[in-house]
Amino acid sequence: MESNHHLSLTLTLLYAGFKRVESWWNYQHVVSPFYRLYYIQEGEGTIYMNQTSYRLSPGQLFLIPKFVVHSYACNDYMEHYYICFFDDIAGKSGINNPLLMKFQVQAQAIDYALIHRYIQLNPGKNILICDPKQYDNDRSLYEKQSSVNFSQFPYDIESKGILLQLFSRFLTEACMKEPHQNSLHEKLNQVIHYINKNLDKRIQVSDLADILCVTPDHCSKTFKKIIGISPCEYIQVKRIERAQTLLLTTNKPVSQIAEEVGIGNLSQFSRLFSKISHCSAREYRNIQIKQLESGDIIQ
């Protein structure tokens, strides 16, 4: 008999709002630990994922699963509602095989009303910085816990029900199948969380291999097959993305930021930052601050 583990699935909101994007919406090689759900209202955009391009058009729902490498493009403009959420809070594994979900579906007649109501129920959850490599690299993201008082409880129940209903549009029998005990995807979730919580420390592939209960070589091959890049590359990218966030949100000197993201050698940090960001850390800070002050990337 099939287990009913997923009948109690909990989805935890991170961000929700409405956004108009234009030709600047061209972020590349994004990997996030949470799901993104879009409802396209006007205009068009493109998402590249799993070596496939998906055209986003009005009246569509689109889901980007967690840990999937993806890129964005928009030639003119696109207006869309978005919801970002976790499905593996408090040790729960969430969907067993997210890569086997549907990614793009035609919205049902009720879906726009559900999306609009969801935004009403969750005010102040919009993303302020558009670059996903900044807003999904806040360390506190992995420790967020929400509390609901008694007066909010009915709205919280309604909100959770709406998100589950929208999420159900993308479910397939294949993605819901129960894995063997200690499944690879569940352990990979643990690996990603371990990396993101320990970017300020030394992380070795052998540490990750121990979590997966495999050899370091097998760990590297498995990680790259599912995530799209090697563990070392992922760690480097996430360290620089964390550094970008600190450059934008604090006044800390570059040398201190380098240490806080686990790269004690400033020369090494500078080389890696320039390689990934195509500019120095100081240039990045100046450019981003100017854009923030001009309102170019604030929602």
Burial class (CB in 10 A: 0-12, 13-18, 19+), 3: exposed
| Structural domains of the chain, count | 2
Q: Name the packing angle between helices 184-197 and 205-212 (round to 10°).
A: 150
Q: Are residues 167 and 252 in the same domain?
A: no
Residue 299 lies in a domain: no
The last residue of one of the domains, among 155, 176, 197, is: 176
Tell me the DSSP string of 238-262. HHHHHHHHHHHH----HHHHHHHTT
Find out whether 40 and 56 touch, Cβ atoms under 8 Å: yes
The 3-state DSSP class for residue 16 equals strand
User: Per DSSP, what are the bridge partners of residue 22?
Assistant: 77
Q: Are residues 52 and 155 in the same domain?
A: yes
Q: Are residues 18 and 158 in the same domain?
A: yes
The whole-number pLDDT of residue 227 equals 75
Residue 102 lies in a domain: yes
Q: Are residues 111 and 224 in the same domain?
A: no
Residue 251 lies in a domain: yes
Number of H helices, E strands in the chain: 11, 8
Q: Are residues 14 and 122 in the same domain?
A: yes
Q: Are residues 85 and 169 in the same domain?
A: yes
Residue 194 belongs to domain with CATH number? 1.10.10.60
Q: Are residues 112 and 192 in the same domain?
A: no
pTM: 0.63
The last residue of one of the domains, among 176, 204, 226, is: 176
The last residue of one of the domains, among 149, 176, 203, is: 176
Q: Name the packing angle between helices 231-249 and 266-277 (round to 10°).
A: 90
Handedness of CA 263, 33, 5, 10 (dihedral sign): positive
Q: Are residues 13 and 42 in the same domain?
A: yes
Look up the domain containing 273 and give its range: 184-294
Residue 53 belongs to domain with CATH number? 2.60.120.280
Handedness of CA 265, 267, 270, 272 (dihedral sign): negative
Q: Are residues 159 and 192 in the same domain?
A: no
Q: Are residues 110 and 253 in the same domain?
A: no
The whole-number pLDDT of residue 2 equals 44
The 3-state DSSP class for residue 24 equals coil
Question: From first to last of its 299 residues, what are the pLDDT tens digits of the chain?
Answer: 344 444 578 888 888 999 999 999 998 878 777 899 999 999 999 999 877 899 999 999 999 988 787 899 999 999 999 999 888 644 445 677 787 899 999 999 999 999 999 999 998 888 766 667 666 655 455 444 445 455 677 888 999 999 999 999 999 988 877 655 456 666 777 788 788 788 889 999 999 999 888 899 998 988 887 777 889 988 998 888 788 878 877 889 999 999 999 998 999 999 999 988 888 998 888 877 676 555 444 33
Q: Are residues 27 and 148 in the same domain?
A: yes
Query: Taking the CB of residue 219, how many other CB atoms lie within 10 A of it?
Result: 23
Residue 270 lies in a domain: yes
Q: Are residues 203 and 288 in the same domain?
A: yes
Residue type, 14: L
